[in-house]
Amino acid sequence: MKPGLVAAVAILLLRAPASAHRLDEYLQATILSVEKDRLQASMRLVPGVAVSSVIVGAIDTNADGLISAAEGRAYAERVLRDLSLSADGHVLRPRLLSFDFPKIEDIREGLGEIEIELAADLPPGSSNRKKIVFENHHLPRMSAYLVNCLVPRDRDIQVVAQNRNGNQSFYRLDYLDAGGFPSMFRLGMRHIAEGTDHLLFLLALLLPAPLLVCRSRWAGFAGVRHSLRQILKVVTAFTIGHSITLALAALGLVRLPNRPVEVLIAFSILVSAAHALRPLFPGREAAIAAAFGLMHGLAFAATLQNLGLGWWARVAGILGFNLGIETMQLVVVAATMPSLVLLSRTRAYAVLRIAGALFAVFASAGWMAERLLNAHNPLDAVVNSVAHSALWIAPILFLISVICWKLRNILDKRIPSPSSLFALNPQSEFLQIRSSQTAKLSP
């Protein structure tokens, strides 16, 4: 692996303390290198003066003041046993490549650096998005951990994210094996499948799509043709909006700080949820979808920018990534809209619409607090849990919608109208008003 500038700086920082006497901790620094079918780790372990006697006793088991090859191997293998390594949920079995130990005198002075090299074979997989989890449990009471990753030499491998816990004993590496257009297409699909905030905005905006408006309230079913036309308008407008900024931002022509973009995305969910509760912009849903789609496109582009692709590779990536996004959007819409159209023909739909809108309101409020104030968001786990259960929620919702539609005459008698101010079908109210006015004018 060829280290990049960031990795080189990290290595220098890890090696810098070796020129001074370390004190009370056992520094364990790990550098990971990722290839298509192999993971390699380079560990540098530097015992501090205060803990050196414990480490020396663990290595020099015969206490002769020397570290033999057998003692060095035994200790290196003990370190490997204290490591936990997995790739996409598959447990990896690292093997020892090499080890090197300093003199015991250097270890006691806090200057000795133990070097251990290990490697593990990565399991084959069809997914282009991969996740590696590394955990170090070696002598946790006296240790300080550091973990980083080298810039991959293979240009098809792009690091997407690194996540660590507080003391860096836990480390997760997300990377992309970007093998051209198909991989970017799959990445776009996965980005939407995991992007609960993007989907929640679109679904909240589609909740009132099958309904008519009467007296500034959502009324009854608007008809299949009207519903499909409205859904098509909203989805198309959202697609146009985020496609524009995705292309501009991914090519480096537009750039905004990440935090304001994420806050605006959460705000867009709040607006669409409020509109689902009470009409705020009836008839202008497509314009709102396009406007907020511009913000969502900036967030989509951040994924491509983090991949470090070249200009032409980025152009191809934009096309594949965007098509993947649109495909997954259509899958979600196709899976949910038949249920919404059927339910909207019954009064039971008011329960679903209000519950879904309130869920979106609370989720967006939690995300805004988290992104503005760095506050803990307990609702995030709930939202993700619901999103991950979509495979069985969608068919259950469809089954419920069919049952409600079949029993709509019974349900309409038992479930009160969403508003006592108008009937379920606002068109009949319009006819009644018009007929009464005609009667007054007649001689």
In the chain, % of residues over pLDDT 70: 82
Tell the burial category of 369 from Cβ atoms under 10 Å away from its Cβ (0-12, 13-18, 19+). middle
User: What predicted TM-score, i.e. pTM, was given to this entire model?
Assistant: 0.58
Residue 305 pLDDT level (bands cut at 50, 70, 90): low
What tens digit of pLDDT does each residue of 234-273 get? 999 999 999 998 888 877 788 788 888 889 999 999 999 9
442: Cβ–Cβ under 8 A, 6 or more apart, which residues? Answer: none
Record the tokens describing residue 140, joined without a space: 């946790």
- What is the amino acid identity at position 112? G
Q: Which neighbouring-strand residues pair with 34?
A: 39
What tens digit of pLDDT does each residue of 171-181 get? 999 887 765 67
Dist CA 438 CA 443 (whole Å):
10
Work out the mean pLDDT of the chain and round it to a whole number. Answer: 82
Record the tokens describing residue 44, joined without a space: 């540098």
Inter-residue contact 240 to 256 (CB < 8 Å): no
SS3 state of residue 160:
strand
The vertex-258 CA angle with 253 and 259, nearest 5°, equals: 145
Give yes or no for residue 231 having a pLDDT over 60. Answer: yes
Q: Which neighbouring-strand residues pair with 162?
A: 173
Angle between helices 196-206 and 258-277 (to 10 degrees): 30
Q: What is the DSSP string of 298-353?
A: HHHHHHHHTTT--HHHHHHHHHHHHHHHHHHHHHHHHHHHHHHHHHTTSTTHHHHH
Q: What is the second-level CATH architecture of the domain 5-177?
A: Distorted Sandwich (2.70)
Dist CA 362 CA 355 (whole Å):
11
Where exactly are the structural domains of the chain? Answer: 5-177, 181-435
Inter-residue contact 166 to 246 (CB < 8 Å): no
Q: What is the DSSP string of 23-53?
A: -S-EEEEEEEEE-SSEEEEEEEEEE-GGGHH
Q: Which of 71-85, 167-181, 386-400 has the highest mean pLDDT?
A: 71-85
Record the tokens describing residue 7, joined without a space: 């990795």
Mean pLDDT calculated for residue range 119-123: 91
Residue 308 pLDDT level (bands cut at 50, 70, 90): low
Backbone angles phi, psi at 116, to 5 degrees: -130, 130
> What Å distances lie between residue 101 and 22, 115, 373, CA to CA?
17, 7, 47
Closest to 270 measured CA to CA, from 375, 178, 367, 175: 367
Mean pLDDT calculated for residue range 92-112: 92
